[in-house]
Amino acid sequence: MIPGLELESASFRYGELWVLRETSLTLQRGSNLVVTGDNGVGKSTFLYVCAGLVPTSTGRVLLDGQVPNQLRPSDLFRHGVRRGFIFHSGGLLSNSSALNNVILPLKYHAETLGLDEAQIDSRARELLSDVRVSQNDFHALPAHLSSGVRRRVSLARALAIQPNFLFFDDPDANLDRATRALVYDMIERFRDDHDVTLLLTSTSRELLDRLQVPVRELAHGHLLEKT
Amino acid sequence: MSMSQDPLPTARSTMPYDPRRDYRPRTGVLGAVGRSALSNLRGLAELLATLGNAVASISTPGGSARRTAHAVTLTQILFTGVQAVTLVSIIGMLIGATIVIQTSLMVPGADGELLGKILVAVVLRELSPLITAIIVAGRSGTAIATELGNMKVSHEVQALSSLGIDTPRFIVLPRVVASVVSVVVLMVYFSVVAVLSAAVIGQSVLGPSPVELRAGIGRALLPHDLVLFLFKGIGLGTILGWFACHYGLKVQSSPTEVPRQASAAVVKTLLGCVVYDTALTVLFYWFGGPPLR
């Protein structure tokens, strides 16, 4: 078994609020975990810490054996750590269209991904179509899209980099039935992919029942076992 | 373990948001003074790190990343430089005219020689760099700081990191380079407009023809002026882009921080520009300029 995500005595706090206290956790590559917990316990922050987007106060995080905070994001990418992150809200570049949001990482890493201009464009369109974004919305700015479509564009962008880590913050929040079904299908694909380590935060009973993956509860800075 | 006893590490983080900043142990007055001094030093180190990381990112491998950053630079030049042309034209024209009117009041009948000297000393060496910097800081400095602050609030900067896109290379460097290019070009443009305006107004108010004025300017200009002009343009442009990016990226998670940091960006940019401009002027006259009489 190869470790994918490792927390080594990781702590993090916002002022007086402990999100994590000396927590250790190992997720093998290709394994899955859903973190649940009450509102305000820091589930989103926990996800940022695990993805290396926010540094720990003490301890460290390793992704495929690399410490994300010690490397440039592009170096991490070149070392094979590809983090797809779907934020609960925001995350899309507000001054770029839906299509350009997906194109950007493909263009930036064109050499590493082995893509030329034409392939980048067609790949981005294909990804947006896969998550059922209408062609009419391809050139719209995120502010002009519904929250469901924005979530799908974020998903397409995360898929664009062929992630081996997928971090999904509250995947089915504020989504209609059709978009929720699409998101669940996508998550199930990643759940069954042995190359992708999947970490979700959610409080949705429907999602937990459907995914049937290990669940931990975040409370007072500790990850508690949950059945 | 109680909160006050929790040890926090001293290692520096490479991330824009560092939760360790929030750590405030309770100490007395001396402790508060020391903490304030350390906080200022840390602020200075972070400011220098913003520019240092941007410069270091030039050597990051990846031709496609470089091309993407070039595209951002061109967009920023359009926004910072090209779109400021109208404003610079109007202000340059009015400054040129004002200088001539003031000269005519103080030295009635001033010839092309004197007017040329005044235009070189006042417009080309001082007002052109400083007023251009003030215009760009007011127009683009606030816009850059606000844009980046909003990007921080809406997780766009974090999203870029997660996608393997480096903030110094994709966000900071293009804006600093665009700011330098824009300021240098706008300074030249400002100078040309101000001198042309002075020539037109000068002929009608004071009498010297544009040819006499051109000859006067030619005699007043020194080879060192080109060096001073370039150093001022490059330095002021760097300060503008650098400070705007730094303060914009200092925003953490609250929208209320955005106007505060945008305001700090402009205030500190203007202060930095005036200090830099003054220092260069002093050095210029000290080392190579004409004696001050």
CB A139 within 8 A of CB A119: no
- Count interface pairs A-B at CB distance under 8 A: 121
- How far apart are the CA of B269 and the nearest CA of chain A, in angstroms? 25
Question: From its phi and psi, is residue B24 left (phi > 0), alpha (psi between -120 and 50) or beta?
Answer: beta
A48: its two tokens: 């940022």
- Residue-wise pLDDT tens digits, B255-272: 999 999 999 999 999 999
- Alpha carbon of B62 to those of A24, A78, B171: distances in Å? 35, 10, 16
User: Residue B108's pLDDT is what?
Assistant: 82
B254: its two tokens: 């609250």
User: Residue A40's pLDDT is what?
Assistant: 85
Instruction: Work out the average pLDDT over A9-13.
Output: 91
Residues from A in contact with B at Cβ < 8 Å: 12-16, 48, 51, 53-55, 57-58, 69-70, 72-78, 82-85, 87, 89-95, 104-105, 107-112, 157, 161, 167
For B154, nearest residue in chain A (alpha carbons) = A90
Read off the amino acid at residue B199. Answer: A
Q: In a mutagenesis test of the A interface, which of B79, B162, B251, B258 is the best target, namely the one with the most A β-carbons within 10 Å?
A: B162
- How far apart are the CA of B80 and the nearest CA of chain A, in angstroms? 16
A87-91, A217-221, B61-65, B134-138: range with highest mean pLDDT? B134-138
A5: its two tokens: 């995500």
CA–CA distance, A125 with A121 (Å, rounded to integer) = 6
- Alpha carbon A222 to its chain's center: 21
Shortest CA distance to B112 belongs to which of B219, B222, B224?
Answer: B219
In chain A, residues with a C-beta closer than 8 Å to the C-beta of B147 are 95
Spans of all domains in chain A: 1-82+165-176+196-227, 88-162
Enter the pTM of the model.
Answer: 0.87
* B204 Cβ contact list (under 8 Å, min separation 6): none
* B74 Cβ contact list (under 8 Å, min separation 6): B178
Residue B230, Cβ neighbours under 10 Å: how many?
12
Give the orientation angle of helix A147-160 with respect to helix A177-191, to 10 degrees: 20
What single-letter DSSP state applies at residue A207?
H
User: Residue B12's pLDDT is what?
Assistant: 41
Q: Is B109 on the interface with A (CB under 8 A)?
A: no
CA–CA distance, A146 with B66 (Å, rounded to integer) = 33
CB B46 within 8 A of CB B168: no
- How far apart are the CA of B140 and the nearest CA of chain A, in angstroms? 16
Q: Which of A73, A89, A95 sits opposite B164 (nearest CB)?
A: A73
Is it the case that residue A14 has pLDDT exceeding 90? no
User: Residue B11's pLDDT is what?
Assistant: 40
User: Residue B291's pLDDT is what?
Assistant: 58
CA–CA distance, A82 with A30 (Å, rounded to integer) = 13
Q: What mean pLDDT, rounded, does chain A reach?
A: 91
User: Residue B25's pLDDT is what?
Assistant: 62
A1-82+165-176+196-227 belongs to which CATH class? alpha beta
User: Residue B10's pLDDT is what?
Assistant: 40
A143: its two tokens: 């502010």
- Residue-wise pLDDT tens digits, A31-72: 999 999 998 888 999 999 999 999 999 999 999 999 998 899
A195: its two tokens: 């190359």
Cβ–Cβ gap A74/B161 under 8 Å: no
Q: In a mutagenesis test of the A interface, which of B163, B165, B171, B252 is the best target, namely the one with the most A β-carbons within 10 Å?
A: B163
CB contacts under 8 A, B 166-225 vs A, are 166-167, 169-170
User: Residue B5's pLDDT is what?
Assistant: 41
Q: Is B18 on the interface with A (CB under 8 A)?
A: yes
DSSP notation for A19-51: EEEEEEEEEETT-EEEEE--TTS-HHHHHHHHH
A94: its two tokens: 């507000």
User: Residue B166's pLDDT is what?
Assistant: 94
* Stretches in chain B below the pLDDT threshold 50: 1-16, 292-293
- Alpha carbon of A83 to those of B8, B119, B188: distances in Å? 28, 58, 46
Cβ–Cβ gap B162/A108 under 8 Å: no
- Residue-wise pLDDT tens digits, A155-176: 999 999 999 999 999 998 888 8
- How far apart are the CA of B168 and the nearest CA of chain A, in angstroms? 10
CA–CA distance, B219 with B197 (Å, rounded to integer) = 19
For A69, nearest residue in chain B (alpha carbons) = B14
DSSP notation for B188-246: HHHHHHHHHHHHHHHHHHT---HHHHHHHHHHH--HHHHHHHHHHHHHHHHHHHHHHHH
Question: What does the angle CA A51 – CA A55 – CA A56 come to, to the nearest 5 degrees?
Answer: 100
pLDDT band of residue A145 (cuts 50, 70, 90) is very high
Q: Which of B15, B22, B60 sits opposite A15 (nearest CB)?
A: B22
Instruction: Work out the average pLDDT over A114-129.
Output: 94
Which helix or strand (DSSP H or E) is residue A223 part of?
Answer: strand A222-226
